[in-house]
Structure 1
Amino acid sequence: MTTNSFAFFDLDHTLLPVDSSGLWAYFLISKCSDRKQEFERRQKQFDLDYFNGVLDINQFMDFEMHLLSLFSRAQLEEYRKEYIATYIKPNIRPNAVELVQKHKEAGDKVVIVTATYRFVVEPIAKLLDADGLIAAEPEEDADGQFTGGWLRHTFAQGKVTAVEKYVADRGGLETLKSSSFYSDSINDLPLLSFVAEHGGTAVATNPDKFLSRIAKQRGWKILSLFQVEEPTYEEVVEKTP
């Protein structure tokens, strides 16, 4: 019997040099003229909390889903096309694509594992030619409109839960022995550790200073695909659309 093997990848600052989630949030906020300042203030605080490793994922998901629910599905589809063309396609890096293809050629199934919600990242996963996608799941009504609720998050320990469920019907935890997980962020330490503990390969990719230190201590691989500067609060503000 053939044993499945997976190459799991975080997305933002791992395969992309930008924060696709943050860019999308600010893009939507720019469409909310009556509450733009309030939403920007809240998003900037979430950015800072994420950077410092203290993000409250439940509050963040509630905020993101509320923002999403302010628009019709038809509006969001149009906005997403503009967002992908403006902010994502110009930031697809050849060496990131080459790494994905290298794993596919070796027989691995490439799966993006991101804390960003599915609606945003589905077209990005297609651009990167991923075989699968694990992402946060917004709640939709019977007509496909977003309700403002959410079904699951895939942040920190949530990624471990989601990956464990994903491999359960695809060979189980044994598949992790021949699998790998690439991430830049200390927030992904739970899944990096989980994969390594099950015999797989943890790869600190463009790592932040916190993850870089732990990767060196544990003897994990460290990979630099491109330069990612850790943003200060002011830089996060300046780089928003």
Structure 2
Amino acid sequence: MPQLALFDLDLTLIPFDSDQAWGRFMVEHGLVDAAEFDRLDAAFSAGYAAGTLDIHAHLCAMLAPLARHSRERLAVLHARFMDDVVLPAIAPAALDLVRHHRARGDLCCVVTATNAFITRPIAHAFGIDALIACELETVDGHPDSRYTGRPAGVPSYREGKIVRTDAWLASRGLAWSDFERSWFYSDSHNDVPLLEKVTDAVATNPDERLRALATARGWQIVELFETV
């Protein structure tokens, strides 16, 4: 019977934060003010590290620039972002981990607090079609319409990752009880709620707080790359 394999993305499967990297990419291309981005990034990074991040404020700030451009323009920019930033940084060990689960026939899904615009192509680069990410509001509710710059639905952050994963499984006619084993790979102490939900919690390139907790609880710890 297939099992369930869930993967965080930033600093777990890829060696950087894709939200930050996309912001810097937009700064480099003159689409976002550098000083304003640095100010917001510093504040939000501190909140994330402390576990006090206001996810709604973060999403509104990071999504606002997307509303200034057409979906076609954003697609061109993101393709360049993938070529220049993401694909060269993907570590073989991270690809091998995902391939291992896919080869077993496990149901695989990326579960990330970063927005779906940034992360869907990255998940696809790992061969994973299923993505749970923070969703984006569009002007008329159509998935292909221009973005408003605001988030939509329940953010997949902290306990929200469980809420969203429950809903995703239910949409497939599944429940946690259908899986004998379930894995979640994450680097962050913010993901402890979902790590505690699965049968196999794997601290992956973990931050200091998660490493200490994983050591205390006997969770597996793996290092896929050196973070940048």
> Normalization by structure 1: what TM-score?
0.86
Aligned residue number for residue 224 of structure 1: 223
1:5 aligns with 2:8: no
Trace 1:1-241 onto structure 2 (pairs within 5 A).
Answer: 3-32=1-30, 35-142=33-140, 144-152=145-153, 153-168=155-170, 169-195=172-198, 200-228=199-227
Quick check: 25-34 or 200-209, which moved more?
A: 25-34
Which whole-Å deviations, capped at 9, do the CAs of 1:134-190 have from their partners, x for residues lacking one? 111001124610012211311111111111111223421213531110001011111
Amino acid at match of 1:22: Q
Report the alpha carbon displacement of residue 125 of structure 1 after superposing the two structures with TM: 1.0
1:177 and 1:211 mapped to 2: Cα distance?
A: 25
2:21 and 2:222 mapped to 1: Cα distance?
A: 25
Which whole-Å deviations, capped at 9, do the CAs of 1:52-88 have from their partners, x for residues lacking one? 3221111101111212212222221111011111110
Aligned in 2, Cα 1:85/1:33: closer, same or farther, shift over 3 Å? closer
Amino acid at match of 1:146: Y
Report if aligned partners of 2:12, 2:185 keep a CA contact under 8 Å in 1.
Answer: yes
SS at match of 2:137: strand
Amino acid at match of 1:138: L
Which whole-Å deviations, capped at 9, do the CAs of 1:14-43 have from their partners, x for residues lacking one? 111111111002222444568432232112
1:176 and 1:54 mapped to 2: Cα distance?
A: 32
SS at match of 2:180: helix
Indicate the percent of aligned positions where both proteins have the same amino acid.
36
2:127 and 2:43 mapped to 1: Cα distance?
A: 33
C-alpha RMSD of the superposition: 1.8
Report if aligned partners of 1:114, 1:134 keep a CA contact under 8 Å in 2.
Answer: yes
1:34 and 1:211 mapped to 2: Cα distance?
A: 33
SS at match of 1:182: strand
Aligned residue number for residue 232 of structure 1: none
Quick check: 164-173 or 128-137, which moved more?
A: 164-173
Q: Where does the alignment leave 5 or more consecutive residues of structure 1 unmatched?
A: 230-241
What is the count of residue pairs matched by the alignment? 223
2:67 and 2:136 mapped to 1: Cα distance?
A: 10
Report the alpha carbon displacement of residue 51 of structure 1 after superposing the two structures with TM: 2.3
Q: Where does the alignment leave 5 or more consecutive residues of structure 2 unmatched?
A: none
Amino acid at match of 1:155: Y
Report the alpha carbon displacement of residue 131 of structure 1 after superposing the two structures with TM: 3.6
Amino acid at match of 2:112: T
1:10 and 1:154 mapped to 2: Cα distance?
A: 11
Report the alpha carbon displacement of residue 192 of structure 1 after superposing the two structures with TM: 0.5
Report if aligned partners of 1:114, 1:154 keep a CA contact under 8 Å in 2.
Answer: yes
